[in-house]
């Protein structure tokens, strides 16, 4: 997924925090909603200016960020 195409960053919008294009909804806000247990339907209802694809892009971004930051430990050898 080309998740970056869903985001925009501009110093004049939300202090430069990344937002969903065409909105003032920050990635941080959406990630916090997911972390607090919000489901897709609930979050989409709370933020009607975003789409399900936007929300999937936020999840893809988080997964890619975690992959870069957290090395995956090697699997134990099983004989």
> What confidence tens digit (pLDDT) does each residue in 35-60 have?
999 999 999 999 999 999 999 999 99
d(CA 70, CA 68): 6
Residue 76 has pLDDT above 90, yes or no: no
Q: What is the pTM of this model?
A: 0.81
The CATH number given to 3-69 is 1.10.10.10
Q: Tell me the C-alpha distance between 79 and 36, whole Å.
A: 41
Residues with Cβ within 8 Å of residue 40, at least 6 apart in sequence = 52, 55
Distance CA 9, CA 17 (A): 6
pLDDT in tens, 15-41: 999 999 999 999 999 999 999 999 999
Q: Where are the domains of the chain?
A: 3-69
pLDDT at 72 over 70: no
* DSSP assignment string, 23-46: S--BHHHHHHHHHTT--HHHHHHH
């Amino acid at each position: 997924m080309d998740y970056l195409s869903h985001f925009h960053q501009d110093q004049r919008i939300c202090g430069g925090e990344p937002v969903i294009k065409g909105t003032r909804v920050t990635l941080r806000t959406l990630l916090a909603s997911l972390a607090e247990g919000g489901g897709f339907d609930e979050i989409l209802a709370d933020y009607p200016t975003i789409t399900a694809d936007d929300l999937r892009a936020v999840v893809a971004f988080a997964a890619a960020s975690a992959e870069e930051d957290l090395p995956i430990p090697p699997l134990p050898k099983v004989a």
